[in-house]
């Protein structure tokens, strides 16, 4: 039964180590609350509230964009399939993240499983970007090259590897937090850098020729946001400099979400510009070429999540091992 009594918030010393966030001192929801209380806590000001909403609301913006394209003129024609696959990935990752932030306090294991889904969805987004880049963004002189032929299969492999690495990083969180953070950052930065190779080449050519291509300018915008997103994720700024001052509003994870969503918005804008200008000159993608990589990665991602969740079940309940400071 839904209790309308809001969960009492805790300080950093009252929650297990796995729940603690660097530089955030207050506003923690109690560990082991019910699913209903988790939902209720989205309407209470905690240190997770804005993490939930900064991905929940934009997810519906991308759903709206996807439905609009799907039912718009030519929306279901073969040239649009990579765009639809990309838009689907743009809907999934903020929704998965929002759910992870909402339900993570249910238990220590639930927290891990929630973030396994979050990481798998984020990796799917990198594959969605690769599909759109392969179809609309590739430099014309690279179309049909060996690199172009291998680009999506390598992106599929990267997605599987990055999901596995990001999920594995959670097992290192308590004993080797630095290695955990570094491997998780690598899991998301590496596929992004690989996906962006065609884009970086276009930036290089554009800079060498001093071009004034508005599409390249749009790609610059989302690339700038991608680097900012990574910087914020890795550095934990601003709360690292002023612990306790950004517990509820303005801490790095919220800024990371906002920058990531703005980056995705500008990326979508740039892809749509490329699509309308260059689609006729680039080879069409078949439905199988668009859906098979997404289907493969979804299936492997779920298998990785199932495997990691099974490992959690074999391990003793983490909360028994975690030391509660101050208790
Ligand atoms: Zn998040």
CATH no. for residue 78? 1.20.1070
For 101-120, what is the mean pLDDT?
A: 93
- Distance (angstroms) between ligand 1 centre and the Cα of 178 equals 18
Q: Give the pTM.
A: 0.90
Radius of gyration of the chain (CA): 21
Alpha helices in 240-286 (DSSP H): 252-278
- Distance (angstroms) between ligand 1 centre and the Cα of 253 equals 6
For 165-176, what is the mean pLDDT?
A: 89
- Distance (angstroms) between ligand 1 centre and the Cα of 187 equals 15
Nearest 5°: phi and psi at 10? Answer: -120, 165
What pLDDT, on a 0 to 100 scale, did the predictor assign at position 78? 77
Q: Binding site for Zn(2+): which residues?
A: 101, 253, 257
Q: Binding site: which residues?
A: 101, 253, 257
For 128-136, what is the mean pLDDT?
A: 94
Band of the pLDDT at 274, cuts 50, 70, 90?
Answer: very high
What pLDDT, on a 0 to 100 scale, did the predictor assign at position 160? 95
What pLDDT, on a 0 to 100 scale, did the predictor assign at position 325? 39
Residue 1 lies in a domain: no
Query: Is the dihedral angle over the CA atoms 74, 78, 83, 89 positive or is it negative?
Result: positive
Percent of the chain at pLDDT exceeding 90: 69
What pLDDT, on a 0 to 100 scale, did the predictor assign at position 320? 40
Residue 98 lies in a domain: yes
Residue 2 lies in a domain: no
- Distance (angstroms) between ligand 1 centre and the Cα of 133 equals 25
Residue 183 lies in a domain: yes
Residue 167's domain spans which residues? Answer: 14-321
- Distance (angstroms) between ligand 1 centre and the Cα of 13 equals 22
For 38-62, what is the mean pLDDT?
A: 95
- Distance (angstroms) between ligand 1 centre and the Cα of 252 equals 10
The C-alpha atoms of residue 197 and residue 241 are separated, in whole angstroms, by 34
Looking at per-residue pLDDT, the higher value among 309 and 285 belongs to 309
Band of the pLDDT at 300, cuts 50, 70, 90?
Answer: very high
pLDDT score of 324 more than 50: no
What pLDDT, on a 0 to 100 scale, did the predictor assign at position 97? 96
- Distance (angstroms) between ligand 1 centre and the Cα of 288 equals 32
End-to-end CA distance of the chain: 30
Residue 222 lies in a domain: yes
For 164-184, what is the mean pLDDT?
A: 89
- Distance (angstroms) between ligand 1 centre and the Cα of 68 equals 27
Looking at per-residue pLDDT, the higher value among 326 and 17 belongs to 17
Angle between the N-to-C axes of helices 49-71 and 252-278, in degrees from 0 to 180, rounded to the nearest 10: 10
Band of the pLDDT at 327, cuts 50, 70, 90?
Answer: very low
What pLDDT, on a 0 to 100 scale, did the predictor assign at position 75? 72
- Distance (angstroms) between ligand 1 centre and the Cα of 51 equals 6
Q: Which H/E stretch holds residue 196?
A: none
Looking at per-residue pLDDT, the higher value among 56 and 7 belongs to 56
- Distance (angstroms) between ligand 1 centre and the Cα of 92 equals 13
pLDDT score of 196 more than 50: yes
Residue 228 lies in a domain: yes
For 7-20, what is the mean pLDDT?
A: 86
Residue 179 lies in a domain: yes
Q: What is the mean pLDDT of the chain?
A: 89
pLDDT score of 289 more than 70: yes
Residues measured by CB to lie within 5 Å of ligand 1, the ion: 97
Domain count within the chain: 1
- Distance (angstroms) between ligand 1 centre and the Cα of 100 equals 8
- Distance (angstroms) between ligand 1 centre and the Cα of 8 equals 22
Residue 327 lies in a domain: no
pLDDT score of 243 more than 50: yes
């Amino acid at each position: 039964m839904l209790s309308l009594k809001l969960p009492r918030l805790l300080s950093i010393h009252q929650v297990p180590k796995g729940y603690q966030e660097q530089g955030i001192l207050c506003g923690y929801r109690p560990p082991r609350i019910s699913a209903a209380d988790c939902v209720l806590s989205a309407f209470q000001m905690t240190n997770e509230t804005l993490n939930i909403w900064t991905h929940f609301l934009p997810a519906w913006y991308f759903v709206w964009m996807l439905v609009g394209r799907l039912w718009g003129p030519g929306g279901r024609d073969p040239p649009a399939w990579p765009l639809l696959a990309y838009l689907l990935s743009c809907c999934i990752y903020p929704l998965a993240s929002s759910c992870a932030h909402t339900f993570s306090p249910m238990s220590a294991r639930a927290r891990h499983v929630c973030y396994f889904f979050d990481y798998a969805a984020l990796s799917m987004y990198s594959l969605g970007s690769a599909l759109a880049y392969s179809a609309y963004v590739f430099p014309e002189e690279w179309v049909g090259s060996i690199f172009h032929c291998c680009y999506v299969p390598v992106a599929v492999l990267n997605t599987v590897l990055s999901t596995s690495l990001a999920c594995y990083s959670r097992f290192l969180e308590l004993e080797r937090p630095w290695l955990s953070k570094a491997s998780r950052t690598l899991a998301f930065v590496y596929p992004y850098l690989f996906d962006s190779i065609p884009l970086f080449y276009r930036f290089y050519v554009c800079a060498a020729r001093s071009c004034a291509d508005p599409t390249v300018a749009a790609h610059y915008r989302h690339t700038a946001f991608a680097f900012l997103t990574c910087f914020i994720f890795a550095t934990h700024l601003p709360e690292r400099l002023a612990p306790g001052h950004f517990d509820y509003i303005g801490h790095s994870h919220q800024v990371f979400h906002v920058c990531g969503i703005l980056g995705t918005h500008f990326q979508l804008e740039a892809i749509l510009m490329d699509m309308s200008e260059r689609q006729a000159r680039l080879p069409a993608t078949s439905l199988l070429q668009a859906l098979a990589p997404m289907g493969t990665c979804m299936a492997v991602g779920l298998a990785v999540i199932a495997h990691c969740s099974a490992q959690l079940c074999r391990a003793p309940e983490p909360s028994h091992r975690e030391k509660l400071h101050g208790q």
